[in-house]
Structure 1
Amino acid sequence: MSLAITAAATPPLQGISLRRPLPGTLLVAAAFALLLLGAGLVVDDYWYNAILIPFLIMSLAGLGLNLLTGYAGQASLGTGAFMAVGAYATYNLLLRLPELSLPASLLLGGIIAGATGVIFGLPSLRIRGFYLTASTLAAQFLIPWIFNQYGWFSNNTTSGAISAPKLQFLGLDLSSPQGRYYLTVVTVLLLTAASWKLMKSQTGRNWMAIRDMETAAAVAGIPVAANKLWAFAISSFIIGISGALWAFAYLGTVDSRSFDLDRSFTVLFIIIIGGMGSIGGAFIGSAFVILFPILLSNISGTFFAGLIDAGQLENIQKILFGLLIVYFLIKEPRGLLALFTTFKNRLHSWPLKP
């Protein structure tokens, strides 16, 4: 009786929406995507070629490595090699199978890079840490050597370089700076959305469990070996597509030296500076790596004109990058993204907290 009276006395909820509000992270991501899409309508060719296209491609490469290292906890120094596989595979698919569309060639090139990543990820079933890094480093030396030794991969060109074929899709010519930009930005946004969805799935949770404590993950019934190889496959798939975009949407002409060990270290610096274990960290780190040399060059030209030559400027840049890497590894392993998050939280709580 009392329950019936209580229920009858309780007024119904009116004017209250039971729908879950859109998280702030999704709003920020949507705004960022719209900003990238809109930027293609207002910027000039310099912004396309020098800033936006390399920023997006290196963000994609950083995203691929972050899935493997930041989320799954598997170390790798073979990023440049897997980028080369994606570039050469896509080139040969477009050259030898002209009936394939550009998106299909990019997709298949990424799949070939993913399969290559699984092969070099097999040692992760037995070893980890420094020894796994050494095994992936073998890919960085072996794969470019293969591309140099066998001219078939470069269509028997004397220099071993490959040039971008005509980029077309649905009758649209994507060879212009704006076309290459939109090819890049759409690809990056699609793969980023798929990666975010993957990290929210059971697969992403399995990867993070393996990263945090592999033995406990195995005891909990997570198939550790399969998830490790799956991480290498998806990571190399994304990195391979970034390599194809680097070759055809950015540089136009590349050889295997374009994907050397320095490229692997650059992508590693991106996720360390931006923040490991976060999708946004790949974009923040890439923006820093792409814009910092430009900023340093402008400062040098403005305040130290004639005092610092190009060689000295490059050495200063490497020193500053090294210092930043050491700082983030010691003081803030989660990178710039964590610093931004901390600053945002302090703004929200101000002036209640110091």
Structure 2
Amino acid sequence: MNASSHSLPTPFDHAPVELVARRPPWGLFALLAVAFVAVPLAGSDYWLNAILIPFLVLSLAGLGLNLLTGYTGQTSVGAAGFMAVGAFATYGFLLRVPELPLPLALVAGGSIAAATGFVFGIPSNRIKGFYLMVTTLAAQFFLEWVFTKFPWFYNHASSGTISAPRLELFGHELGSPVGRYLLVLATVALLTWVAVNLVHSQIGRNWMAIRDMDTAAAVIGIPVDRYKRLAFAVSSFYLGIAGALWAFAYLGTASAGSFDINRSFQILFIIIIGGMGSIAGSFIGAAFISLLPIFLSQAGQALLGGNVDAGQIQNLQKIVFGVLIIAFLIKEPEGLVRLGATLRERLARWPLRF
């Protein structure tokens, strides 16, 4: 028998597979080009201020919560509390250290939120499930109380609010809708890239092992307690930066009430509807949450001839959200991401099978 028939495969035998696996994501590049170039040129102030900026900030907040709940399996309903920490901390840095550049102020505010999340994540060492959720709920109310009780955090303003300081980056003012949109977009794009690499690293694999079964993860040598606290810290870092952007790039002025329990539930709904344990699900869920109220408002005005007030529209939104949450938890816990994947699979087999 020819000796060459028993030769080991060389790296070149699998070259086509490697080339396909490393194919540049041209679709993503095109999407980023549209977001960074076409949208600022063609988008109106209304779309930038009322739709795109809140969508991006909510996507970042959903991404932060997804790292904790979707990838690590630690239930939390205190996301808005950590957003408040990031917002008030960033405000404090920009106010009291005016020479600090805006990116560093955002990172510093996010770091304070990360430290706070680390502290409130310590109980996850011993409790889990419903009891951990109650602990994060307590953190939500405690942080709201702190930022309401102590005037130092809002610079003793009589209104109890913080106002966005002058936003500058490399000498350029970011007060216009386009400037604030590009600031938010660049921040979200960078942190999303970091999150994608993080969940595909050893840290992300350890998080998912803890999510699937923390006892088995501990048996194979993963320091479960350490990685749970790390998940709380990283999640709170993302939420803190999202809170600062929500206060300064979207609202312009904010108080502790801007980050109440309703905001926490909104972020939780984002990852449930979009898909837990999915980066894309955070963006899909945020788009759904952002656009559905506008659609319901327009539909209500069109169907009822403008004879419906804003309060009834808000009640209708709550009913629709409640029904959707129940439906997704029962029928499709993996959210819209899984529904989209299933539809693509069926279309790929059509017309042989659908």
SS at match of 2:41: coil
Partner of 1:35: 34
Asked whether 1:70 is paired with 2:57, we answer no
Partner of 1:327: 327
Partner of 1:87: 87
Partner of 1:169: 169
Partner of 1:183: 183
Distance 1:267 1:172 in 2: 32
- Aligned-residue offset at 1:24: 8.2
Per-residue CA shift, 1:120-173, capped at 9, x if unaligned? 111100000010000011111111111111111111101110000000011111
Per-residue CA shift, 1:165-196, capped at 9, x if unaligned? 00001111111100000000000000000000
Partner of 2:106: 106
- Aligned-residue offset at 1:54: 0.2
- Aligned-residue offset at 1:27: 4.3
TM-score normalised over the length of structure 2: 0.95
Distance 2:266 2:229 in 1: 24
Distance 1:130 1:333 in 2: 18
Amino acid at match of 1:36: A
Distance 2:248 2:333 in 1: 34
Asked whether 1:244 is paired with 2:226, we answer no
Question: Residues 1-354 of structure 1: matches in 2 within 5 Å?
Answer: 2-4=2-4, 17=16, 19-22=18-21, 26-38=25-37, 39-354=39-354
- Aligned-residue offset at 1:36: 1.8
- Aligned-residue offset at 1:23: 6.5
Amino acid at match of 2:225: A
* Percent identity between the two aligned chains: 56
User: Larger deviation: 203-212 or 340-349?
Assistant: 340-349
Amino acid at match of 2:29: A
Q: C-alpha root-mean-square deviation of aligned residues, in Å?
A: 1.8
Per-residue CA shift, 1:311-330, capped at 9, x if unaligned? 11111110010000000000
Distance 1:25 1:299 in 2: 41
User: Larger deviation: 329-338 or 304-313?
Assistant: 304-313
Distance verdict in 2 for CA 1:251–1:329, change over 3 Å: same
TM-score normalised over the length of structure 1: 0.95
SS at match of 2:19: coil
Distance 2:200 2:41 in 1: 33
Q: Which consecutive residues of structure 2, in runs of 5 or more, have no partner in the other structure?
A: none
Amino acid at match of 1:251: L
Distance 1:122 1:319 in 2: 36
- Aligned-residue offset at 1:303: 1.7
Distance 1:188 1:22 in 2: 26
Amino acid at match of 1:282: S
Contact 2:301–2:307 (CA<8 Å) still a contact in 1?
Answer: no
Amino acid at match of 2:147: F
Q: How many residues align?
A: 348
Distance 1:277 1:245 in 2: 24
Distance 1:99 1:255 in 2: 24
Partner of 1:10: none
Q: Which consecutive residues of structure 1, in runs of 5 or more, have no partner in the other structure?
A: 8-12
Per-residue CA shift, 1:209-229, capped at 9, x if unaligned? 000001000001000000000
Per-residue CA shift, 1:238-274, capped at 9, x if unaligned? 0000000000000000000000000000000000000
Amino acid at match of 1:286: A
Per-residue CA shift, 1:69-126, capped at 9, x if unaligned? 0000001111010000000000000010112100000001000000000111111000
Per-residue CA shift, 1:271-290, capped at 9, x if unaligned? 00000000000000000000
Distance verdict in 2 for CA 1:174–1:327, change over 3 Å: same
Distance 1:184 1:118 in 2: 25
Distance 2:4 2:193 in 1: 49
- Aligned-residue offset at 1:30: 3.2
